Amino acid sequence: MQHRIDDFIKFLAIERGLSEAYQLSVRQTLQSLADCMDQRKLGLNEMGTDELSEFLNQRKAEGLGASSRRLATVHLKIFFRWIAATGDIGMDPAEPLQAAKPDRKLPSTLSAREIRNWLEGIPTEHPLGRRDKAILELFYSSGLRLAELCAARLEWLDTEEGFLRVSGKGKKTRLVRVGKDALLAITNYLSNERRELVKPHSSSQIFLSVRGGPLTPERIRQIVKRRAKLAGIDSKVYPHLLRHSFATHLLEGGADLRVIQELLGHADIATTQIYTHVSTKGLKDTHRKFHPRG
């Protein structure tokens, strides 16, 4: 099983050109399956649909959420489809598997006032203040994913027109709008701080560490949490919270859902529609609070 997992990961990397992060995610799922097979002393030819369903149910009992189980189901399907194509097994046991129903948990957001106080309170005269403010302003202005912000490069930024080209999921590129406040923060950082961070080995990533290398996703998470704590924000804060807030505030301001879908880079508008539930909840709360018979 371990040999087949290694071969499959090579196939994903070489033939499919999938990212290292996705390869790691697939490997984790398949390694968990291999451990389960070892415990039950089952070979690959003995894995049927019932056994795979039991494996997914076991993962659920261990606390794996619905979205993660949906992803694990996809991993099993592509793996066993590949195994079946090689002729090592007679039939594909993963084909009948049904993906777990998605959680109906609504995304958390911050209010426009909370975000304004947070961003305007960052002391740019302090070391790395300009960089951190530019990062947070860009997150909120453009609704970027964490990986998209990490990968953003100078040559993709048009400061005159206020647009940034980003490479999203599936290596799809799109243009995102950079608002005036974010653009001001970025140009301030580029003019006064980034040049001090550049080292001989530095690449063209917009945001650099003190060592001159690109910021890692984990480092940016730390920056977001630290800046939120300094601003006195008690709720759990993470980069995607700014993306959620970006979409929710656009919708509340009257933006068309299709436009928000394009800005977020969602392939399916159903993914974007979750923000309509967030906005509707806000309308209900406002009506209940201010209407005399709410």
Secondary structure class of 176 (helix, strand, coil): strand
Mind listing the pLDDT tens digit for each residue in 50-75?
Answer: 999 999 999 888 888 888 888 999 99
Active-site residue flag, 240: yes
| pLDDT at site 225 | 95
Judging by beta carbons within 10 Å of its beta carbon (0-12, 13-18, 19+), is residue 165 exposed, middle or buried? Answer: middle
Q: State yes or no: pLDDT of 210 exceeds 50.
A: yes
Ordered DSSP codes for 91-141:
S-TTTTPPPPPPP-PPPP---HHHHHHHHHTS-TTSTTHHHHHHHHHHHHH
Q: Which of 145, 194, 244, 249 is catalytic?
A: 145
CATH of domain 2-86: 1.10.150
DSSP, collapsed to helix, strand or coil, labels residue 177 as strand
Do the two domains 2-86 and 112-289 of this chain adopt the same fold? no
pLDDT at 86: 82
Q: Which of 243, 244, 281, 287 is catalytic?
A: 243
188 vs 251, residue with greater confidence: 188
Q: Residue 275 catalytic? A: yes
Percent above pLDDT 90 for the chain: 57
pLDDT tens profile 27-48: 999 999 999 999 989 888 888 9
Determine phi and psi for 163, rounding to 5 degrees. Answer: -130, 150
Q: What is the pLDDT of residue 17?
A: 87
What average pLDDT is seen over the chain? Answer: 88
Q: Which of 169, 199, 287, 288 is catalytic?
A: 169
pLDDT given at position 106: 66
Which residue did the predictor score with more confidence, 19 or 31? 31
In tens, the pLDDT along 86-100 reads 887 878 898 898 877
Confidence of residue 171 (pLDDT cuts 50, 70, 90): confident
Catalytic site includes residue 243: yes
Assess whether 140 carries a catalytic annotation: no
Neighbours of 193 (CB within 10 A): 19
Domain segments of the chain as ranges? 2-86, 112-289
145 is catalytic: yes
In sequence order, what are the residues at sequence separation of 6 or more whose Cβ sits closer than 8 angstroms to the Cβ of residue 70?
99, 100, 102
Catalytic residue chosen out of the listed positions 69, 131, 227, 275 = 275
Closest-CA residue to 190 (of 239, 130, 147): 130
Q: Look up 291 and say whether it is catalytic.
A: no
* Gap between the Cα atoms of 244 and 139, Å rounded: 10
Q: What is the pLDDT of residues 183-204, one digit of tens each?
A: 999 999 999 999 999 999 999 9
d(CA 79, CA 33): 11
**pLDDT at 288 (0 to 100):** 63
Q: How far apart are CA 30 and CA 288, in angstroms?
A: 49
pTM of the model: 0.64
Which pLDDT value is given to residue 75?
93
The CATH fold assigned to 112-289 is hpI Integrase; Chain A (1.10.443)
Taking CA atoms, 72 is separated from 59, 169, 275, in Å, by 9, 18, 25
The mean pLDDT value for 10-24 works out to 88
pLDDT confidence tier of residue 21, bands split at 50, 70 and 90:
confident
Pairing label, strands 173-177, 163-167? antiparallel
Looking at the predicted structure, is the pLDDT value of residue 164 above 70?
yes
For the sheet with 157-158, list strands across it: 157-158, 163-167, 173-177
DSSP letter assigned to residue 216? P
Between CA 56 and CA 47 the distance in angstroms is 13
* Residue 287 confidence (pLDDT): 45
Higher-pLDDT residue of 294 and 241 is 241
Using alpha carbons, select from 224, 223, 194 the residue that is nearest to residue 210. Answer: 194
